[in-house]
Structure 1
Amino acid sequence: MLTYIDVADLCVGMYIQKLARSSEERAFWNESFLIQNEVVLDRVLASGAVGAWIDPSKGGAEPAPVPDEAVVQSGQDAPQSPCSSSRSCSEASGPRPRVAMSEELVQAVKLCARSKTAVMEMFGDLRMGRIVQLDRVTDMVGEISDSLLRHPDALLSLVRLKVADEYTYMHSVAVCGLMIGLARQLDLPPLLVQEAGLAGLLHDVGKMAIPTAILAKPLPLNDSEHTTMRTHPEAGARMLADSTHFTPRVLDVCLHHHEKVDGSGYPHKLCGTQISLFARMAAVCDVYDAVTSDRPYRDRWGPAESIRKMAGWAGHFDEKVLHAFVKCIGIYPVGALVRLQSNRLAVVMEQHAGCLLTPRVKVFYSVSSRTPLPPECIDLACGQDSIVNFESEKAWGFKNLEALWMGQGPGEASRFG
């Protein structure tokens, strides 16, 4: 029996019998095919189709990722999480009205500065052998969670702009926010959403056991240094195990966020569902923030380019978790450089909750004439134009595209104090 689903719910492994081009006319493309990989899926999502009839007998993929039964059960049994109950009640009360992106960016800059200071102090305490102050880190997770509820794009877009000397600290803040957003996309219970954020914030604490000369090296690491760096997951788990405040899930993320589903990761070469849901989530969030951040020895990739490349790394990530992550941040995340049907370039400014394919963009460049254009904001949901592909910032030689989507200049070396 054929089943009709929205295009946003398609995933790798589904067999499409017909694509629905228009929700009103139900005009169908008659070609049938299997979504073999993320590349095919991306083409379908960018095709303009609004839905599809799938044949479950030919493709067994589920429309949406299903959280691990044990994890969901533990959340529904509601043991006391290290995150405060007041935060959980706030989470459970349902979505709040979103504020304007520009308004939340102002608050997010301040939150990033506070979070950077708090993480620096926390990491400093760990270097000195002190215990993590639970209240402070849970309050930080709560603030980050609240920011994402007010506007899901502002903070996550802003933390990509960290500079080299603050990477270690702001990376933890970024992974915290990405874990919260992904956990919500997976419909995890509120307590587990907050716990996922806490796990993201603490996932790299083991780097405080790594010599500063390696951690801050402005060049690629040699083999010996790589071997030393790979000890940080076990070091982090030991640090947190000294405290009774953190759940096994948080410790597991510290220990296993570098595992890969094909068994080629470290430290234990786990594969598939041997890796916990939280660790599979952290693997995606950790890598995405790493590749979208500038490092001394390489330039960052654009957000959309990063998603495309990560989708092509067979055996690295859990495909269902990665698909949920794409739905969380968008096929064209804020800050992505895109080419429009009108042969103009634009930068993505804001997502539409209802459709991943029609974000708000700011047009600024003519491909035909190779000249800048007066910046113009366009809501692609209104049908004025459409995205035909993402583009590489590096290939075009553009710098500081954030000045466009933030509505201000590039600012100082660090935005976060």
Structure 2
Amino acid sequence: MLKTIRSDQLRLGMFIHQFSGAWLSHPFWRRQFLLRDARDLEKLRSLDLSGIVIDTDRGLDVAAQAPDAEPEAAVPMAEAPAAVPAPPPMDEPIVLPLPDAHPALALAGPTFQEAAALSRQAVRQAMDLYGAARLGHALDAGQCLGLVEEVVQSVTRRPHALISIARLKSVSDYTYLHAVAVCALMAGLARQMGWAEPDIRQAALAGLLLDVGKATLPDDLVQRAGTLSDEERTIMRTHVQRGHDLLRAEGGYDERVLQACLHHHERLNGSGYPGALQGDAIPEVARMAAICDVYDAVTSDRPYRDAWDPGEAMRRMARSKGLYDPTLMQHFVKAVGIYPVGALVRLRSELLGVVVAQGRGSLLAPKVRVFFSLALHRRIEPYVLDLAKPGCADRIADLESPEGWRFADLEAQWLTG
């Protein structure tokens, strides 16, 4: 049940449904959240808000008055309750559910099970991290490094598993899994470039925090499925400066993390923002972040756009002119693969399959799960073909467009491989 109250009526355990007034009048990223922290309560009470809408079905109601108390001035109701449900006791935690996981994650086979479990754990930690930024809390670099360390270790054990799993995003967890995916991609790229272990962790931390400035923007703007107006696009672009300023004010962050946060939307030809920097004027870590950020974005389904096939994304990005550092792009291709996990490929033998793992010693010879015969024009019993195995005469002829085939179970083919 929705009810509008004054800020001085707030108490811990209430569920904030909406703020009355313009979004610029408050620092909170999400409009809906459970009020669990005394610091948030104090901040809300200090704001100049015309009213706050609470949901009494998802949290506590206004405290009952004593019978002889002087009634307070009435506040208009967003929706007048017919009956007030009994509030849960204060010592009973109210746990907000995780965003819905992508349904394909349930299909993960043994190769990807660890990465799938880490991705769900990472979503929770990323939610807490972005939530802290939204509420103006500390973003301690040491606490962030806990998640970064797990991601780096996962990338070390299975270089392509977490990167591939993190492409499978639902609408509700895109922001968080994108942060985790870019974290993993930055770790893999830095390792490929020969960075020392401490520096790899800083690159991964930069990937995790690239978009933390979006936590200070209204969620209806960040999650917008349609085209943004010029004014909205200008506001959205402020996330890089907001994130940079937030981390710098906190202190304790490596300068490379700050550079990546501020400049990951710069492009070599000067067409990016916020500084329209060109070439080597863009810090190297920001040029790395630009590649990792775009690759994960274009290979993930969004409400307004279907994902690119990972192989096609790699091909388009490598061929683009003036956007990405060509030397770093070569390192990225080596880190992720010419034919990344999940890419649909056609073999010389006129078979179709999806890449399930990178090959030993050759970017051109990955492991492929074959499941369709072009000669027979039908499905065949799936099997894994290691193109790098001695004696294997087959090779990849070209990438295939998933849109042209519309295999409904393409994700299952590589996830279970």
CA shift digits 1:231-287 (9 cap, x unpaired)? 110010011011111011111111000000111110001111111110000000000
Distance 1:230 1:207 in 2: 9
Match of 1:148 in 2: 155
The residue identity in structure 2 corresponding to 1:197 is A
Pairwise CA distance, 1:115: 0.7
Alignment of 1:16-415 (within 5 A): 103-382=110-389, 383-407=392-416
Unaligned runs of 5+ in 2: 1-107
Structure 1 or 2, whichever has the larger Rg, is: 2
User: Post-superposition shift, 1:103?
Assistant: 4.0
What SS does the aligned partner of 2:173 have?
helix
User: What SS class does the counterpart of residue 338 from structure 1 fall into?
Assistant: strand
Partner amino acid, structure 2, of 1:109? A
Instruction: Tell me which residue corresponds to 2:26.
Output: none
1:339 maps to a residue whose letter is: R
Aligned length: 308
> How well do the aligned residues superpose, as a CA RMSD in angstroms?
1.4
Q: Secondary structure in 2 aligned to 1:160? A: coil
Give the match's secondary structure for 1:364: strand
Contact 1:185 1:328 in 2 (8 A): yes
Question: In the TM superposition, what is the alpha-carbon distance from 1:306 to its structure 2 partner?
Answer: 0.2
Residue deviations 1:204-254, cap 9 Å, x none? 101112211111112232322222111110010011011111011111111
In structure 2, the CA distance between the partners of 1:379 and 1:104, relative to structure 1 (3 Å rule), is closer
Provide the C-alpha distance between the structure 2 equivalents of 1:331 and 1:338, rounded to a whole number of angstroms: 11
Shift of 1:102: 5.0
Task: Write the letter of the residue equivalent to 1:385.
Answer: D
| Equivalent-residue separation in structure 2 for 1:174 and 1:362 (angstroms) | 24
Amino acid aligned to 2:366: P
Distance 2:243 2:413 in 1: 38
Q: Which amino acid aligns with 2:381?
A: P
Q: Is the 8 A contact 2:360 2:388 kept in 1?
A: no
Deviations 1:340-372 (A, max 9, x none): 001111000100241000101011111233211
Matched AA of 1:407: T
1:397 corresponds to which letter in structure 2?
R
Distance 1:400 1:303 in 2: 16
Tell me if the contact between 1:175 and 1:286 (Cα under 8 Å) persists in the aligned partners.
yes
TM-score, L = length of structure 2: 0.72
C-alpha change, 1:114 and 1:133, in structure 2 (3 Å) is: farther
Which secondary structure state, in structure 2, belongs to the residue aligned with residue 181 of structure 1? Answer: helix
For structure 1, which segment, 362-371 or 254-263, has the greater mean C-alpha deviation from structure 2 after superposition?
362-371
- Distance in structure 1 (CA, Å) of the matches to 2:381 and 2:210: 43
Query: Compared with structure 1, are the counterparts of its residues 220 and 353 closer, same or farther at alpha carbon in structure 2 (3 Å cutoff)?
Result: farther
Q: Aligned partners of 1:189 and 1:301: how far apart in 2?
A: 32
CA distance in 1, matches of 2:327, 2:125: 33
- 279-288 vs 163-172, which moves further: 163-172
Q: Please give the secondary structure, in 1, of the residue aligned with 2:251.
A: coil
**Conserved 8 A contact 2:359-2:386:** no
